[in-house]
Amino acid sequence: MDKAHQKVKVRPTTARRRAERAAATGGAPILDFATPTPYDLYVRTNTLHRLQHPLTDDPGEMSFLVISQIMELYFKLVDFELRDAQRLLRADDLWAALAPLRRAALHLEGLNGSWQGLRWMTPADFNRFRDQLGEASGMQSAMYRHLEFRLGLKTASLTRPHRKQPEQHQALLNTLSEPSIWDDAIAVLARHGHDIPRELLERDFSVEHQPHPAVEAAWTEVYRDGGPGNLLRLLGEALTEVAERFGEWRYRHLSAVRRAMGAKAGSGGSEGIGWLERSMARTVFPELWSARTHM
């Protein structure tokens, strides 16, 4: 953002003021401003569109770069919604928590749609600029790691790439050590009378939750009541939507990698497809799925 933008703020307005302006212009848009356009001030497009710096002259690299940045913004948005849902679950406001969970599922749909913009990429297309990426790899995304930790997929070693960025590293360690949204959902079950062992409620949350029969039994019991007033069941379905959409993200990621590079080694040192396949085997909200066998 340039200095002129930094000094000027968006001026709030009101419905009455908007109506007056529309009447004064005859419904035509305002075209003259004494400051940079309010849209630029709010969205900061001037900054946003300066963030693309391709490393080659290959036109396909711009797609790869911009879509990667779009995905990063979606990671942030989904993580934001999940944090809000956690805040509401901890306050036992289940009804209010449904809204950010539903938004998170919709944002994940948008995230998944981003892959469409890379369907053109064959190995030959990717190879034209891949070497210039060096060791840069999507698995080094700190915001994606926040999202995984928030969903309960905890791997402490995956914070290590960020140690040279102390603030980022500490933020990841904080998310790692906090309860995931699945831990918060299990705590909700306990507060609502379900028999959840204390060791699941008071544990080291930096370690990934392991499926437990008591949690599975609780969700089985929750789903026996199909009435509209069963907020726990509505919570279960909202979490299911998030888990399904996130599962689609992982599958589409695998498909995109298979399309663009086959079984080649990943840029960040992983074996590529093999790493992604093992990652997909880890289930988000495991008992929410296993309980369905007993419903």
Could you tell me if 79 and 197 lie in one domain?
A: yes
Residues 115 and 19 in one domain: no
Binding-site positions for substrate: 130
Nearest-CA neighbor of 68 among 149, 2, 129? 129
Pair (78, 206) in one structural domain: yes
Nearest to 1 by CA among 48, 70, 69: 48
What does pLDDT average to over the chain? 92
Say yes or no: 266 and 143 in one domain: yes
- Categorize the per-residue pLDDT at 3 as very low, low, confident or very high, splitting at 50, 70 and 90: low
State residue 260's pLDDT score.
85
If asked whether residues 152 and 34 sit together in one domain, one would say no
Asked if the structure places residue 71 within a domain, the reply is yes
Pairwise CA distance, residues 253 & 273, whole Å: 10
| Ranges 20-24, 87-91, 111-115, 173-177: which has the least confidence | 20-24
Residue 54 inside a domain? The answer is no
What is the residue range of 239's domain?
A: 60-294
263: in domain: yes
Nearest alpha carbon to residue 147 among 87, 88, 83, 237: 83
Which residues does the annotation place in the binding site? Answer: 130, 253
- Give the pLDDT mean for 23-36: 88
pLDDT digits (tens, 9 = 90+) for 57-98: 999 999 999 999 999 999 999 999 999 999 999 999 999 999
Residue 55 within a domain: no
The answer to whether residues 83 and 185 belong to one domain is yes
User: Do 15 and 103 share a structural domain?
Assistant: no
Positions at the binding site for heme:
253
Mark whether 254 and 161 lie in a shared domain. Answer: yes
Instruction: Answer yes or no: do 286 and 243 share one domain.
Output: yes
Number of Cβ within a 10 Å radius of residue 143: 19
Does 267 score more than 90 pLDDT? no
Over residues 171-228, the pLDDT tens digits come to: 999 999 999 999 999 999 999 999 999 999 999 999 999 999 999 999 999 999 988 8
Give the model's pLDDT for residue 198. 97
Q: Do 38 and 87 have their domain in common? A: no
Q: How many domains does the chain have?
A: 2
